[in-house]
Amino acid sequence: MKTENKTLSVAGKKTQLTILGQGPPLLYLHSAGGETEPIPFHEKLAEHYTVYLPAHPGFALSEGLDQIRDIHDLAWHYVDLLNELNLKNVPTVSYSLGAWTATEVKLLRPELIGPLVMIAAAGLHVDGAPMQELFIDSFDKLRELLFFDPKSQTAVDYFPSDVNDPRILMWLRAREATARVGWNPYLHDPKLAGHLHRIEGPVQIIWGRQDKLIPLAHGEYYAKHLPNAKLTVLEECGHMVPYEKTEEAAKIALDFLAS
Amino acid sequence: MKFFAFHLMPWDRLPDDFAEKYDTAWTWLPNQMFDPEHGGQLYNNYLDQLVLADQLGFDGVCVNEHHQNAYGTMPSPNLMASILARQTKNCRIAVVGNALPFYDPPTRCAEEFAMIDCISGGRLIAGLVVGGGPEYYSFSKNPTFAREMYKEAFDLILRAWTEPGPFEHYGEHWKLKYVNPWPRPIQQPHPPIWIPGAGSRETIQFVAQRRFAYMGIPYFHMDFFQRNFDMFRDECEKCDYTADPEQLGWLLPIYTAETDEQAWAEYEPHLWYFVEKLLKGLVVFPPGYTSARSIAGIQKGLKQFMSTCKTREDIEAGGYAIVGSPDTVRQKLSENIKKLGVGNLLGLFQLGTLPHDLTCKNMKLFAEKVMPGLREELNAAPTMQQAAAT
């Protein structure tokens, strides 16, 4: 598959951008896990679109985390990035931290983000459905938290094996960049819920029934309060939707964007 | 050479099945385990032990700050220090320290420390610390801002002590129109400042440059202290001065009894309670608390941490605790103090479940049979580092 690696300067911040596939542009905003190198889910999207896959500041080779103080700074970074790429009304697929970010961008500049796919989105606090602790050290416990089947090969391969794994530094950087915007308030923006009625464009929400990090109640809240949203729930699936249900989730996203 | 009695004020009643049932003695350990009646008794015993240290001729006592845990039940060391300011007469009172990012605004720390310094007649040593990793979970305080909050608070507190108020402080984390704390400390320009560290070069450089004192974070292998203290002396040389041994402090558990065998027999169950239960979950590095590279490095350094010990031999080989008869304790301390080149010994004389009577016996034996000889020997002979420097 055609893949291009670029380094942009976005308002002075060095930003890693991977571009893959062919077709009209599609923006993918990644999760706290930092899927900044193409994964099979991206490749499915890239069969129909030119997928723009930027790394958030502090993730992978992107810099400028010192200029990010909260989620709104991250959202403004994407306003700058989309202007830099000259993209408007761009179809967007977003996951977890990325989906929260996409929502905030859509509030700031509604014309930049087109039809929006939100997978297992962070961003809300829902009474009675607390998000579990993501910032723990044990990879075994993280597997239990994030995957429906923590013993699957996907779950085993997902994390660095130990502190000697060469991926550990990138992992620690991703954790830091996530904590920067999501430590407190924990993975949410207390004002976001009150803004949801202002997001008028079409939204496809996708959630894993057994998501323990961000319970399904958050997906239901988004679906209820976004004026033009549809929720699809995947069975036997945890938080790691693009990894656990690659085919199904890609199909739902592509069908929605094509409609 | 200065001798300090350091207290953590630990919780001594964790259940026998703690190791199997709980991952940590920190942050998430259910507070229903804390029995307030017993807690009150412990606080009073622990304070009595520190008052005893003053009566026995220790140069100082140390208290410190931890939150939501069983390891050290002293969320406010300033409360304890203010009691000690009244109940001790001669010794230094070292609060090591106040975790600055949790004081809002940090001028609270400047105020409370000045109060303690005034009440004690200028006996305060001011420890200014970042706060432990677990505390960033306990306070939901963003650890990615820990270092810059600490630095801003540190500079503000020093300014508040040394610059006539009122003045304005408009920083990144605090915006204060009127900084003008009453009271001011007796010690001028400000109380001595101690900063603990676990070996990061950034902290060591900072302390060396500002000519403050560096306290090694405990429970590491002797080699780990040696490396850090050597690094500190190198950094002082780079700043064109030779480190004073009193700029360095070595903190470790000490237990003295009539004979080596008696000391180990009396001490061991309490030591293992500490190692196996209270240390569990202490070493946690939340994201951004220090650089990703440092976190990866420290994780590897944990091979030299006390919680890896399984036997008395492990403890003795690494110098994690000094246990024995007065002669043994004196000889081991003398050897290591000279090697490390430190001018402050911070002894933990109570540890884990060690009961009040044994703690007092430990301190008395130490004060009567170890301290005087060590004082004489170490004040007479320059340390290896001093000898090398002159």
How far B96 CA lies from chain A's nearest CA (Å)? 27
Q: Any idea which of A255-259, B250-254, B284-288 has the lowest mean pLDDT?
A: B284-288
**Which residues of B touch chain A, with CB atoms under 8 Å apart?**
137, 140-144, 284-288, 292-293, 295-296, 299-300
Q: Does A184 touch chain B (CB under 8 A)?
A: yes
- Overall average pLDDT of the B148-166 stretch: 97
Q: Do B287 and A163 touch (CB under 8 A)?
A: no
Biggest CA pair distance of chain A = 48
Q: Say whether pLDDT at B381 is over 70.
A: no
Q: Is the pLDDT of residue B386 over 60?
A: no
Residue A29 bridge partners (DSSP): A94
Which residue in A61, A137, A168, A187 has the most chain B C-beta atoms within 10 A of its own C-beta, making it the best mutation to test that interface?
A137
Chain A with chain B: Cβ pairs closer than 8 A:
44
Mean pLDDT of A49-71: 97
The chain-wide mean pLDDT, for chain A, equals 97
What percentage of chain B carries pLDDT values higher than 70?
A: 97
**Rounded Cα–Cα distance for residues A19 and B156 (Å):** 47
Average pLDDT over residues B152-161: 98
A4 in helix, strand or coil? strand
Nearest to A98 by CA among A157, A179, A190, A27: A27
Q: Which of B141, B286, B292 sits opposite A169 (nearest CB)?
A: B292
Domain count, chain B: 1
H or E stretch at A125: none
Q: Look at residue B390 and tell me whether its pLDDT is greater than 50.
A: no
By residue range, what is the domain housing residue B67? Answer: 2-389
B384 has a pLDDT exceeding 80? no
Residue A59 pLDDT more than 50?
A: yes
List the domains of chain A with CATH numbers.
3-258 (3.40.50.1820)
Q: Are A110 and A199 in contact (CB under 8 A)?
A: yes
Assess A62–B contact: CB distance below 8 Å, yes or no. no
Closest approach of B32 to chain A, Cα-based (Å): 21
Q: Are B366 and B256 in contact (CB under 8 A)?
A: yes
pLDDT interval class at A70 (50, 70, 90): very high
- Percent of chain A residues topping a pLDDT of 70: 100
Residue B250 has pLDDT above 80, yes or no: yes
Predicted local confidence at residue A173, as pLDDT? 94
Question: Tokens standing for B86?
Answer: 């009244």
CA distance B80 to chain A (A): 30
pLDDT digits (tens, 9 = 90+) for A135-157: 998 999 999 999 999 999 999 99
Distance from CA of A90 to the nearest CA of B (A): 32
Q: What is the pLDDT of residues B94-104, one digit of tens each?
A: 999 999 999 99
Omega of the bond leading into A185 within 30 degrees of 0 (cis): yes
ipTM (interface pTM): 0.93
Judged by CB atoms closer than 8 Å, whether chains meet at B287 and A168 is answered as no
pLDDT at B203: 86
A168: chain B residues, CB-CB within 8 Å = 296
Measured distance CA(B271)–CA(B274) in Å, rounded: 5
pLDDT for B109: 98
CATH code for position B285:
3.20.20.30
Query: Quick check: A176 contacting B, CB < 8 Å?
Result: yes
Nearest residue of chain B to residue A186 (CA atoms):
B140
CA dist A168 → A161, B202, B248, B282, B368 (Å) = 9, 22, 34, 21, 51
Residues B197 and B235: their CA atoms lie apart, in Å, by 14
What pLDDT, in 10s, does the model give residues A80-111? Answer: 999 999 999 999 999 999 999 999 999 999 99
CB contact under 8 A, B296 and A183: no
pLDDT category at B75 given cuts 50, 70, 90 is: very high
